[in-house]
Amino acid sequence: GENVEQHPSTLSVQEGDSAVIKCTYSDSASNYFPWYKQELGKRPQLIIDIRSNVGEKKDQRIAVTLNKTAKHFSLHITETQPEDSAVYFCAASNTDKLIFGTGTRLQVFP
Amino acid sequence: EPEVTQTPSHQVTQMGQEVILRCVPISNHLYFYWYRQILGQKVEFLVSFYNNEISEKSEIFDDQFSVERPDGSNFTLKIRSTKLEDSAMYFCASSRLDQNTGELFFGEGSRLTVL
């Protein structure tokens, strides 16, 4: 089955800097790759997603890139703000379920 | 904005007891899911449900677990005889389309503590 690995597990950046989180997946049939943000004690919330027919997608300060050949995808957050501090999960899907990565705890220091 | 609602928000139970977690998915959604998250770990898929039957389940979803859609609005997860390792946050989710096409909306979660 699908296996998703995510790095780094923790990431600390200064406000205004960029943050990059990387994920790799194992199942070449996976074709949907969402990213979720989870604040402490809250539900995961979708922040951006990408499908396999697209290499890059951007939404304001957030962008995701996908390399299907290498089976990896990345989340890029530019001009980070303290409110970006949270745990970020990547996920992959090719069937009726999402397989999540292990999460990255992002801390943005003012 | 419509959202997935879950009850209870927190349940404490004794090992061996039965627990039912309840969810009300978004009204025009057709696909329903349960995920769980052990404290500090990743979100894990348990089961997906479509057209009144299980469409997929994980290894975690053994004979102690069952799901039901008893009426047109509720979607329940039952754990027949709870174990200590069942302690986790359980998230219900729904989507209008299948996972490859539609966004997944999560509820706020039900925290289960097994003593």
Nearest Cα to Cα of residue B87 among B7, B5, B19: B19
Closest partner residue to B100 among A45, A89, A93, by Cβ?
A93
pLDDT digits (tens, 9 = 90+) for A43-69: 999 999 998 888 999 999 999 999 999
The answer to whether the CB atoms of A44 and B43 lie below 8 A apart is yes
For residue A42, the chain B residue with the least C-alpha distance is: B108
pLDDT digits (tens, 9 = 90+) for B22-58: 999 998 898 999 999 999 899 999 999 998 999 999 9
Closest partner residue to A43 among B50, B103, B108, by Cβ?
B108
Q: What is the pLDDT of residue B54?
A: 95
R_g of chain A, CA atoms, integer Å: 13
- Listed in order, strand segments (DSSP E) in A1-110 are 4-7, 10-14, 19-25, 32-38, 45-51, 56-59, 62-67, 72-77, 86-95, 97-100, 104-109
Q: Are strands A19-25 and A86-95 parallel, antiparallel or unpaired?
A: unpaired
A102 touches chain B (CB under 8 A): yes
The answer to whether the CB atoms of A100 and B42 lie below 8 A apart is yes
pLDDT digits (tens, 9 = 90+) for B51-95: 899 999 999 999 999 999 988 789 999 999 999 999 999 999 999
Cα–Cα distance, B6 to B83 (Å, whole number): 21
